[in-house]
Structure 1
Amino acid sequence: MLDTLFSTHLPVLPVLLPLFTAVVLLLLGDSGGQASHGGAQLRRARTLSLASVVFGALLAWRLMLEAAGGALTVYPLGNWPAPFGIVLVVDRLSAMMLALTWTIAVPVLWYASGGWDAHGRYFHALFHFQLMGLSGAFVTGDLFNLFVFFEVLLIASYALMLHGQGRERLRVGVHYVVLNLGASVLFLMGVSLIYAVTGTLNLADLALRVPVIAGPQAAVLQAAGLILLVVFGFKAALMPLSMWLPATYAAASAPVAALFAIMTKVGVYAILRVHGIVFGADGSVPAGAAAAATAYSVTSVLLPVALLTSVAAVLGALAAHSLPRLVAWLTVVSVGTVLTAVGIQGPAAWSGALYYMAQSTLVIAGLFLLAELIGTQRGATGGRLDPAPPVAQPQMLGILLLLGAATVAGLPPLPGFIGKLMILEASALHAWVVPVWTVLLAAGFFTLVGLARAGSLLFWNASAAGVPEPAPRHKASAAPLLATLAPLALVAAMSVFAAPLMRYTDAAALQLADRAAYARAVLGSASEGALDTTRPYRVIPGARTP
């Protein structure tokens, strides 16, 4: 009975677990920044927080295993049927993003528990509120609740960004908050326009209603779709909306920046989910319909802007003056690569996008943690790309940087190469095949150049000349090293298990493109009847109650 109850409510647990954990942590109190690292209060917070994250990762992987079998799970909150009630939907795509989020959270929180969590107050509670927002954004089946979970994760990220204080964090944090507030206003505008025309915000319901709306209302929907593309593009760091990201991520503490590696992918996910399900066009869409018009507009805009994002980000990486800022620019490069695949359209390209997104998120998270390990062993020079005394662990740290560099650059046989190859193959018959191949291959080459330059300055050109103080000779302890190694080891494992992972992403892309099946799963019999466009909602005869 307990197992049945657990299975029934499994889709909502990745949202409720971090919420309850954060509340308990707040009730326990927080002495961060006041007590020593070994204080009993902080030890209790760390134990509870780490146990919750590990349990959440197990839940997320169980959901992914269920989704791998083809299950599309619909969880109606309050047992209200869609589209009248709020639903959570777990398909292959959302399950993969949940598993990726919680898998990254485990080593990141482990790393932070080595001391970063004591640099300010309420780190663990904020960390779990961030996980709640991320998980909710990936499983919600409703546009307004996507906005709500966006705000939850953003509010937590504001505080995490400033955690530990510092003048530079405060400076870039103000920009980060102001720009995100502006994006939130645009999000509400886009959602309001869609609701005004369709009378619903359920994604499955919108997938059926939007294609049959024509005339002036179709133009309003097209404008709303483009507004949402701007919002999601800002969240994903799409050029020219990404100039805030390098300074913000470079100023954040290492574990916070590592967690933020998944936050940019929320924007990519939203573009795939909203513009793939709601505004995407296929053969069943009537000519001139809103979905077809918006899909054309998105395709014509997204692909060139994604390529521009990769080009600008690679130039930023080459000009970076510190290792954390270099890794931050590589985050933007990965976004440009993924959105290039999204802009190519089609299940094959989307499969490559999902595979590349998973490996790039893992490697970027690992590189942010690695950047701090290297910086702490270089004395006053820190992570700046200037000559400094040798680090205490050149072999270990150098090998980890080499692994990360080879993956980010897309060298075989690592998963960065496999993901790019999937995208390049999918673009072979596309009209933009030449610029796509040129930009992706050139981006990989110059990424390798930028990382090789950084590696030579960090390890090969080490010198004590001109350095005001000697480099500390203490080595990183086992815990942060293992926490840094974990995401990079998972990246290497993606090469070993490339075949089953590619089958999963292929199936996820096909499932995402099948909007009719998505609507049937969420709406039940409502998706089979005729659509009455005179009503704000569809009449559901004999509505299915899960």
Structure 2
Amino acid sequence: MDHLIIAPILIPAFAGMLLLLEVRERLWLRRATGLIATLALVPVTLMLFQRAFAGEITVYDLGNWPAPFGIVLVLDRLSALMLLLTSLLAVPALLYASQGDDRIGANFQALFQLQLMGINGAFLTGDLFNLFVFFEVLLIASYGLALHGRGPARVGAGIHYVVLNLIGSALFLIALALIYGTTGTLNMADFAVKVNQLDGQARTLAEVAGLMLWIVFGLKAALFPLYFWLPATYANASAGVAALFAVMTKVGIYAIARVYGLAFGAGELAGLGRNALWVVALVTLVLAALGALSARRLGEQIAYLVVMSVGTLVAGVAWGTPAAFGASLYYLIHSTLVCGGLFLLADLIGRGRGDLGDRIMAGPVPAGRGGLAPLFFIGAVAVVGLPPLSGFFGKVALMQAVPAPLYWALLLSAGLVALVGLSRSGSTLFWRATGEADAPRLDYWRLFAAALLLAAAPAMAVWGGPLLAISDATAGQWADPSQYINAVLNTAGGGG
């Protein structure tokens, strides 16, 4: 168990390297390798989740060099929860892509594994520089996945995505240089201690670095005004990629929560940038709802719903209380799985309409409408927050934890606007449809993958109480940064 913490990074890393070496003509072998590696992450992350929720914070000293001098991986309840969520999302996403979408590019399976490596590493690292490194790993893999399949729309959206994230990476490096120059460390726990001991010019530079981090993480999370790359990128990506990308914005939110909770939740720099994050989150929420209403393609509409969830979540994080963060975590799990399922469903609907694809306009009856329409109804009800599914419980928990009338008004109004947009889409795609499309029959493996993710909505409603308790326990540990700091800085060597 001592070395299990590094498995979520090593499994996809080794699988990705193996996939690059395997004979490209044997597609079945690449699919088997990718699916086995991804499936293996589920029991591994489940064991890590159980270990973390026993209350123990595990610190793994790479090379047996203790913090703050060496690189460390840290497993607490928050990182364990995010690892488990990623593995549960990745399996249906890859299963869907393995029904043919991975055939277009020879390195799809390898890039998918490297993407998982970057995401898992970002959740586990206890070092700001290695957070940057894992960001770059997941971003480089995502560039290839976003462009997978080519096409002018996909290439155009991919170029915007690449350019903006390269700018974000440059800002990240500048922020890290300022942090190291003022505190002499990039270890998160050590930085949290030293940043609150600064004064004078050094403190000012640290504040600038902190604000730059919010910009970088806001870009990764797709906050206003940095979210404009997301709808086109996600809508034009292949369905399995878009589903996995549903957790990409959550990496940015995780980074905001992690750094804010450790360094800026208390002490001399408490609340740094908090008011700005609150305002930006609310603006993101409103604009994303309007984008979902005006979208002309179903995939684009779902992408705006992802952005709307980002605004909802960051507002909860910016509120800063354990209750608000706990409710945000429940909503984060819900929105990631449901939006991932909706991306897969949108692709199925588009495939069933022939040349018209997922454009929201009257056309032929989608192939397999009898199975697709109920799933779309479940997904739409869940994502806008109507009872009795998980989105409703998530929004109620957020409203209870964030007693701000403006937030309530915008959250409910955005949900209503999204409901109108999805109602228009559903009626256009299913009920105003006439005739039969010249399209292949419904692929039941693809349908199974989409249903697997959308099943999270009723499941999270049925087990809402235990899941909210898990979220609250995670938030309680997050709100006490001394546990994390003491575990990292006082731990005995446990690496290899």
Range into which the TM-score falls when normalised by the shorter chain = over 0.9
Equivalent residue for 1:476? 442
Equivalent residue for 2:421? 450
Separation (CA, whole Å) in 1 of partners of 2:119 and 2:105: 22
Separation (CA, whole Å) in 2 of partners of 1:392 and 1:476: 6
Matched, 1:461 2:414: no
2:323 to 348, 356, 359: 348
Return the TM-score normalized by structure 1: 0.89
Superposition map of 1:85-104 within 5 A:
85-104=70-89
Separation (CA, whole Å) in 2 of partners of 1:208 and 1:350: 22
Residue 316 of structure 1 deviates from its aligned partner by 0.5
Separation (CA, whole Å) in 2 of partners of 1:491 and 1:107: 15
Separation (CA, whole Å) in 1 of partners of 2:407 and 2:439: 46
Query: Structure 1 residues 473, 133: CA separation in 2 closer, same or farther (over 3 Å shift)?
Result: closer
Equivalent residue for 2:393? 418
Amino acid across the alignment from 1:171: G
Separation (CA, whole Å) in 2 of partners of 1:300 and 1:391: 46
Residue 157 of structure 1 deviates from its aligned partner by 0.3
Equivalent residue for 2:229? 244
Q: Deviations over 1:253-290 (max 9, x none)?
A: 11111111011110000000011112222xxx2xxx2x
Separation (CA, whole Å) in 1 of partners of 2:387 and 2:279: 27
Equivalent residue for 2:43? 58
Q: Deviations over 1:344-397 (max 9, x none)?
A: 111000001111011100001000000010011112111000111111222211
Residue 500 of structure 1 deviates from its aligned partner by 1.3
2:470 to 499, 504, 511: 504
Superposition map of 1:272-421 within 5 A:
272-281=257-266, 285=267, 289=268, 291-292=269-270, 295=271, 297-421=272-396
Whichever of the two has the greater Rg, that structure is: 1
Separation (CA, whole Å) in 2 of partners of 1:388 and 1:471: 8
Separation (CA, whole Å) in 1 of partners of 2:38 and 2:113: 8
Runs of 4+ in 1 over 3 A off after TM superposition: none
Residue 523 of structure 1 deviates from its aligned partner by 0.8
Separation (CA, whole Å) in 2 of partners of 1:216 and 1:416: 46
Gaps of 5+ in 2: none
Query: Identity of aligned pairs, percent?
Result: 51
Secondary structure of residue in 2 paired with 1:212: coil
* Contact 2:9 2:120 (C-alpha < 8 Å) held by counterparts: yes
Equivalent residue for 1:44? 29
* Contact 2:211 2:273 (C-alpha < 8 Å) held by counterparts: yes
Separation (CA, whole Å) in 1 of partners of 2:113 and 2:83: 14
Choose 177-186 or 385-394, whichever is displaced more.
Answer: 385-394
Equivalent residue for 1:231? 216
Residue 545 of structure 1 deviates from its aligned partner by 2.6
Secondary structure of residue in 1 paired with 2:455: helix
Secondary structure of residue in 1 paired with 2:386: coil
Separation (CA, whole Å) in 2 of partners of 1:331 and 1:137: 20
Equivalent residue for 1:28? 22
Secondary structure of residue in 2 paired with 1:8: coil
Separation (CA, whole Å) in 1 of partners of 2:219 and 2:439: 42
* Contact 2:351 2:440 (C-alpha < 8 Å) held by counterparts: no
Equivalent residue for 1:14? 8
Residue 473 of structure 1 deviates from its aligned partner by 5.7
Residue 513 of structure 1 deviates from its aligned partner by 1.3
* Contact 2:353 2:439 (C-alpha < 8 Å) held by counterparts: no
Amino acid across the alignment from 1:504: I
Separation (CA, whole Å) in 2 of partners of 1:30 and 1:19: 18
Matched, 1:153 2:147: no
Separation (CA, whole Å) in 2 of partners of 1:418 and 1:392: 33
Matched, 1:106 2:74: no
Equivalent residue for 1:495? 461
Superposition map of 1:426-437 within 5 A:
426-428=401-403, 433-437=404-408
Secondary structure of residue in 1 paired with 2:228: coil
Amino acid across the alignment from 2:453: P
Separation (CA, whole Å) in 2 of partners of 1:172 and 1:446: 26
Separation (CA, whole Å) in 2 of partners of 1:15 and 1:441: 39
Amino acid across the alignment from 1:315: L
Secondary structure of residue in 2 paired with 1:71: coil
Residue 27 of structure 1 deviates from its aligned partner by 0.9
Separation (CA, whole Å) in 2 of partners of 1:478 and 1:305: 41
Secondary structure of residue in 2 paired with 1:472: coil
* Contact 1:225 1:275 (C-alpha < 8 Å) held by counterparts: no
Residue 400 of structure 1 deviates from its aligned partner by 0.5
Amino acid across the alignment from 1:195: Y
Equivalent residue for 2:179? 194
Separation (CA, whole Å) in 2 of partners of 1:303 and 1:29: 50
Return the TM-score normalized by structure 2: 0.98
Separation (CA, whole Å) in 1 of partners of 2:345 and 2:230: 19
Secondary structure of residue in 2 paired with 1:170: helix
Separation (CA, whole Å) in 2 of partners of 1:496 and 1:376: 32
Amino acid across the alignment from 1:265: K
Separation (CA, whole Å) in 2 of partners of 1:494 and 1:63: 21
* Contact 2:235 2:303 (C-alpha < 8 Å) held by counterparts: yes
Choose 210-219 or 78-87, whichever is displaced more.
Answer: 210-219
Separation (CA, whole Å) in 1 of partners of 2:310 and 2:288: 10
| Higher relative contact order (CA closer than 8 Å, sequence separation 6+) | 2
Secondary structure of residue in 1 paired with 2:458: helix
Aligned residues: 494
